[in-house]
Amino acid sequence: MSHVFDEAISVRRTDDVFHATTHPAYSNMVGPFGGITAATVVHALQQHPDTLGEPLAVTINYTAPIADGDWDLFTSAVRTNRTNQHWVFRIEQHGDIVSTGTAVFGLHRPTWSNTEAQPPTAPPVEEIEPLEFPEFIAWARNYDKRFVTGGLDAGASDDSTSTLWIRDAPERPLDYPALMSITDSFYPRVFLRHGTYMPAGTISLTTYFHATPGELSEHGTAHLLATASAARFAGGHYDQHGRVWSVPGEGEPVLLASTHQLVYFKNPQPQE
Protein backbone atom coordinates (compact mmCIF):
# COMPACT_ATOMS: atom_id res chain seq x y z
CA MET A 1 0.00 0.00 0.00
CA SER A 2 1.47 3.33 -1.04
CA HIS A 3 1.93 6.24 1.36
CA VAL A 4 -0.30 9.26 0.74
CA PHE A 5 2.80 11.45 0.47
CA ASP A 6 4.13 9.36 -2.40
CA GLU A 7 0.75 9.56 -4.11
CA ALA A 8 0.77 13.35 -3.76
CA ILE A 9 4.24 13.85 -5.28
CA SER A 10 3.91 11.34 -8.11
CA VAL A 11 4.80 12.62 -11.58
CA ARG A 12 4.70 11.45 -15.20
CA ARG A 13 7.49 12.57 -17.52
CA THR A 14 7.41 13.61 -21.17
CA ASP A 15 10.88 14.79 -22.26
CA ASP A 16 11.70 17.74 -19.95
CA VAL A 17 8.09 18.22 -18.80
CA PHE A 18 6.70 16.49 -15.73
CA HIS A 19 2.94 16.17 -15.22
CA ALA A 20 1.50 16.20 -11.70
CA THR A 21 -1.91 16.39 -10.05
CA THR A 22 -2.93 18.05 -6.80
CA HIS A 23 -3.97 15.73 -3.99
CA PRO A 24 -6.90 16.55 -1.69
CA ALA A 25 -5.02 15.27 1.36
CA TYR A 26 -2.57 18.18 1.00
CA SER A 27 -4.99 21.00 0.30
CA ASN A 28 -4.52 24.30 2.14
CA MET A 29 -6.69 27.33 2.78
CA VAL A 30 -5.97 28.51 -0.79
CA GLY A 31 -4.74 25.88 -3.23
CA PRO A 32 -2.42 23.02 -2.29
CA PHE A 33 0.08 23.12 0.58
CA GLY A 34 3.20 24.84 -0.76
CA GLY A 35 5.43 22.20 0.78
CA ILE A 36 3.88 19.41 -1.27
CA THR A 37 4.35 21.42 -4.46
CA ALA A 38 8.01 22.00 -3.65
CA ALA A 39 8.42 18.33 -2.71
CA THR A 40 6.97 17.32 -6.08
CA VAL A 41 9.55 19.51 -7.83
CA VAL A 42 12.38 17.84 -5.88
CA HIS A 43 10.98 14.39 -6.62
CA ALA A 44 10.63 15.19 -10.32
CA LEU A 45 14.18 16.53 -10.66
CA GLN A 46 15.49 13.41 -8.93
CA GLN A 47 13.78 11.35 -11.66
CA HIS A 48 15.36 13.30 -14.53
CA PRO A 49 18.01 11.15 -16.28
CA ASP A 50 20.40 14.11 -16.54
CA THR A 51 20.38 14.98 -12.84
CA LEU A 52 23.75 15.04 -11.09
CA GLY A 53 23.86 14.01 -7.43
CA GLU A 54 21.40 15.07 -4.77
CA PRO A 55 19.50 18.31 -4.05
CA LEU A 56 21.56 21.01 -2.35
CA ALA A 57 19.28 24.04 -2.66
CA VAL A 58 15.80 24.73 -4.02
CA THR A 59 14.03 28.06 -4.40
CA ILE A 60 10.39 28.17 -5.45
CA ASN A 61 8.40 31.36 -6.03
CA TYR A 62 4.64 30.97 -5.75
CA THR A 63 3.43 33.47 -8.33
CA ALA A 64 -0.25 32.41 -8.20
CA PRO A 65 -2.36 29.78 -6.43
CA ILE A 66 -2.48 26.35 -8.05
CA ALA A 67 -6.05 25.20 -8.68
CA ASP A 68 -7.16 21.64 -7.97
CA GLY A 69 -6.24 19.39 -10.86
CA ASP A 70 -3.34 18.78 -13.21
CA TRP A 71 -0.25 20.97 -13.57
CA ASP A 72 2.95 20.81 -15.57
CA LEU A 73 6.56 21.27 -14.47
CA PHE A 74 9.03 22.50 -17.12
CA THR A 75 12.69 21.92 -16.26
CA SER A 76 16.01 22.90 -17.81
CA ALA A 77 19.56 22.17 -16.69
CA VAL A 78 21.38 25.41 -17.50
CA ARG A 79 24.86 24.33 -16.43
CA THR A 80 26.55 21.19 -15.14
CA ASN A 81 29.95 21.40 -13.48
CA ARG A 82 32.07 18.60 -12.06
CA THR A 83 30.34 18.57 -8.67
CA ASN A 84 27.23 20.74 -9.01
CA GLN A 85 24.40 21.34 -11.44
CA HIS A 86 22.04 24.28 -11.89
CA TRP A 87 18.38 23.98 -12.89
CA VAL A 88 15.63 26.45 -13.66
CA PHE A 89 11.99 25.44 -13.64
CA ARG A 90 8.49 26.78 -13.93
CA ILE A 91 5.05 25.38 -13.15
CA GLU A 92 2.21 26.03 -15.57
CA GLN A 93 -1.49 25.34 -15.23
CA HIS A 94 -4.04 26.05 -17.97
CA GLY A 95 -1.41 28.04 -19.84
CA ASP A 96 -0.55 30.33 -16.91
CA ILE A 97 2.73 30.36 -14.97
CA VAL A 98 1.91 29.69 -11.30
CA SER A 99 5.43 29.11 -9.93
CA THR A 100 9.03 29.68 -10.94
CA GLY A 101 12.25 28.55 -9.35
CA THR A 102 15.79 27.28 -9.36
CA ALA A 103 17.49 24.21 -8.00
CA VAL A 104 21.08 23.22 -7.35
CA PHE A 105 22.02 19.55 -7.27
CA GLY A 106 25.47 18.20 -6.54
CA LEU A 107 27.78 15.49 -5.32
CA HIS A 108 28.70 15.06 -1.67
CA ARG A 109 32.49 14.90 -1.24
CA PRO A 110 34.52 13.99 1.87
CA THR A 111 35.76 17.30 3.29
CA TRP A 112 36.32 19.02 6.62
CA SER A 113 32.98 19.69 8.31
CA ASN A 114 31.63 21.63 11.27
CA THR A 115 28.18 22.76 12.42
CA GLU A 116 28.08 26.15 14.16
CA ALA A 117 24.29 26.19 14.62
CA GLN A 118 22.92 24.68 17.83
CA PRO A 119 19.66 22.74 18.09
CA PRO A 120 16.89 24.10 20.32
CA THR A 121 16.32 22.59 23.72
CA ALA A 122 13.39 20.19 23.78
CA PRO A 123 12.03 17.43 26.03
CA PRO A 124 11.76 13.94 24.56
CA VAL A 125 9.05 13.63 21.93
CA GLU A 126 7.22 11.01 24.02
CA GLU A 127 6.56 13.63 26.72
CA ILE A 128 4.61 15.96 24.39
CA GLU A 129 1.07 15.43 23.15
CA PRO A 130 0.31 15.86 19.42
CA LEU A 131 -1.50 19.05 18.41
CA GLU A 132 -4.21 18.87 15.76
CA PHE A 133 -4.85 21.78 13.42
CA PRO A 134 -8.37 22.83 12.35
CA GLU A 135 -10.12 20.60 9.81
CA PHE A 136 -9.88 23.19 7.02
CA ILE A 137 -6.06 22.88 7.06
CA ALA A 138 -6.11 19.44 5.44
CA TRP A 139 -2.36 19.05 4.82
CA ALA A 140 -1.54 19.30 8.52
CA ARG A 141 -3.32 16.01 9.20
CA ASN A 142 -0.47 14.28 7.38
CA TYR A 143 2.00 15.24 10.12
CA ASP A 144 2.44 14.26 13.75
CA LYS A 145 3.16 17.68 15.33
CA ARG A 146 4.27 18.02 18.94
CA PHE A 147 4.98 21.62 19.88
CA VAL A 148 7.63 22.42 22.44
CA THR A 149 6.80 26.13 22.17
CA GLY A 150 4.80 28.40 19.90
CA GLY A 151 1.92 26.06 19.09
CA LEU A 152 -1.11 27.17 17.13
CA ASP A 153 -3.04 27.21 20.41
CA ALA A 154 -0.49 29.43 22.20
CA GLY A 155 -2.36 32.73 21.78
CA ALA A 156 -0.71 36.05 20.96
CA SER A 157 3.03 36.12 21.63
CA ASP A 158 5.84 38.67 21.56
CA ASP A 159 8.12 35.93 20.20
CA SER A 160 7.48 34.41 16.76
CA THR A 161 9.47 31.24 17.51
CA SER A 162 7.90 27.81 17.19
CA THR A 163 9.79 24.64 18.05
CA LEU A 164 8.28 21.23 17.51
CA TRP A 165 8.85 17.55 16.93
CA ILE A 166 7.40 16.53 13.58
CA ARG A 167 7.22 13.56 11.22
CA ASP A 168 4.95 12.19 8.50
CA ALA A 169 1.72 10.54 9.61
CA PRO A 170 1.62 7.65 9.07
CA GLU A 171 5.36 7.48 9.56
CA ARG A 172 7.53 7.20 6.46
CA PRO A 173 11.30 6.93 5.93
CA LEU A 174 12.80 10.38 5.47
CA ASP A 175 14.04 11.37 2.01
CA TYR A 176 14.72 14.65 0.21
CA PRO A 177 11.13 15.33 -0.98
CA ALA A 178 9.79 14.69 2.53
CA LEU A 179 12.43 16.94 4.05
CA MET A 180 11.58 19.64 1.50
CA SER A 181 7.92 19.50 2.47
CA ILE A 182 8.65 19.62 6.20
CA THR A 183 10.70 22.82 5.78
CA ASP A 184 7.42 24.49 4.76
CA SER A 185 5.35 22.97 7.58
CA PHE A 186 5.65 25.95 9.97
CA TYR A 187 2.35 27.79 10.16
CA PRO A 188 2.56 31.57 9.48
CA ARG A 189 4.57 33.39 12.15
CA VAL A 190 2.11 36.28 12.04
CA PHE A 191 -0.58 33.94 13.42
CA LEU A 192 1.56 33.40 16.50
CA ARG A 193 2.29 37.09 17.00
CA HIS A 194 -1.41 38.03 16.82
CA GLY A 195 -2.89 34.86 18.27
CA THR A 196 -5.40 34.62 15.44
CA TYR A 197 -5.78 33.52 11.84
CA MET A 198 -5.26 36.18 9.21
CA PRO A 199 -4.64 36.28 5.46
CA ALA A 200 -1.06 35.13 4.85
CA GLY A 201 0.86 33.02 2.38
CA THR A 202 4.35 32.15 1.20
CA ILE A 203 5.67 34.13 -1.76
CA SER A 204 9.14 32.60 -1.96
CA LEU A 205 10.65 29.56 -0.24
CA THR A 206 14.32 28.56 -0.26
CA THR A 207 15.58 25.39 1.35
CA TYR A 208 19.22 24.36 1.77
CA PHE A 209 19.80 20.64 2.13
CA HIS A 210 22.72 19.80 4.40
CA ALA A 211 21.78 16.14 4.76
CA THR A 212 23.65 13.41 2.93
CA PRO A 213 21.77 10.34 1.68
CA GLY A 214 23.42 8.35 4.45
CA GLU A 215 22.18 10.74 7.13
CA LEU A 216 18.64 10.52 5.78
CA SER A 217 18.83 6.74 5.82
CA GLU A 218 20.16 6.73 9.37
CA HIS A 219 17.34 9.00 10.52
CA GLY A 220 14.69 6.57 9.31
CA THR A 221 11.13 7.33 10.45
CA ALA A 222 11.89 9.17 13.70
CA HIS A 223 10.57 12.61 14.57
CA LEU A 224 12.55 15.64 13.44
CA LEU A 225 13.19 18.63 15.68
CA ALA A 226 12.20 21.79 13.79
CA THR A 227 12.25 25.46 14.75
CA ALA A 228 11.33 28.69 12.95
CA SER A 229 11.08 32.40 13.68
CA ALA A 230 10.73 35.72 11.88
CA ALA A 231 13.03 38.75 12.02
CA ARG A 232 10.78 41.63 10.92
CA PHE A 233 7.14 42.23 10.03
CA ALA A 234 6.58 45.35 7.91
CA GLY A 235 4.76 46.60 4.84
CA GLY A 236 2.62 43.50 4.50
CA HIS A 237 5.57 41.09 4.41
CA TYR A 238 7.86 39.22 6.77
CA ASP A 239 10.73 36.78 6.56
CA GLN A 240 10.99 33.39 8.22
CA HIS A 241 14.06 31.34 9.07
CA GLY A 242 13.84 27.69 10.01
CA ARG A 243 16.07 24.72 10.78
CA VAL A 244 15.36 21.00 10.83
CA TRP A 245 17.41 18.61 12.92
CA SER A 246 17.79 14.87 13.27
CA VAL A 247 18.24 14.00 16.95
CA PRO A 248 19.37 10.40 17.40
CA GLY A 249 18.94 8.65 20.72
CA GLU A 250 22.69 8.34 20.94
CA GLY A 251 25.10 10.74 19.30
CA GLU A 252 25.10 14.40 18.31
CA PRO A 253 22.14 16.15 16.63
CA VAL A 254 22.56 16.58 12.87
CA LEU A 255 21.37 19.69 11.01
CA LEU A 256 19.57 18.32 7.95
CA ALA A 257 18.15 21.48 6.38
CA SER A 258 17.78 25.21 6.82
CA THR A 259 15.13 27.33 5.14
CA HIS A 260 14.08 30.90 4.47
CA GLN A 261 10.75 32.29 3.35
CA LEU A 262 9.20 35.56 2.29
CA VAL A 263 5.57 35.71 3.38
CA TYR A 264 2.83 38.24 2.66
CA PHE A 265 0.15 39.08 5.22
CA LYS A 266 -2.83 41.34 5.69
CA ASN A 267 -4.07 42.78 8.96
CA PRO A 268 -6.82 40.72 10.60
CA GLN A 269 -10.36 41.96 10.19
CA PRO A 270 -11.59 43.82 13.29
CA GLN A 271 -13.98 41.85 15.45
CA GLU A 272 -17.55 43.18 15.52
CATH class of segment(s) 4-108+120-265: mainly beta
* pLDDT digits (tens), the chain, 272 positions: 799 999 999 999 998 899 999 999 999 988 899 999 999 999 999 999 999 999 999 999 999 999 999 999 999 999 999 999 999 999 999 999 999 999 999 999 999 999 999 999 999 999 999 999 988 899 999 999 999 999 998 899 999 999 999 999 999 999 999 999 999 999 999 999 999 999 999 999 999 999 999 999 999 999 999 999 999 999 999 999 999 999 987 789 999 999 999 999 998 765 54
User: What predicted TM-score, i.e. pTM, was given to this entire model?
Assistant: 0.96
Q: What is the pLDDT of residue 16?
A: 83
Q: What is the pLDDT of residue 272?
A: 47
- For the chain, the straight-line distance linking the first and the last C-alpha, in angstroms and rounded, comes to 49
Q: Which residue(s) pair with 126 in the sheet?
A: none
Residues 6+ apart with CB under 8 A from 9: 20, 36, 39, 40, 43, 177
Residues in the chain: 272
**Strand 200-209, strand 70-80: pairing:** unpaired
CB 122 within 8 A of CB 86: no
Domain range summary for the chain, segments of one domain joined by +? 4-108+120-265
Closest CA to 95 of 72, 76, 121: 72
Angle at CA of residue 161, ends 156 and 166, nearest 5°? 110
Residues 10, 39: Cα–Cα separation, whole Å: 10
Provide DSSP, 244-258: EEE--SSS--EEEEE
Q: What is the pLDDT of residue 6?
A: 98
Q: What is the pLDDT of residue 269?
A: 63
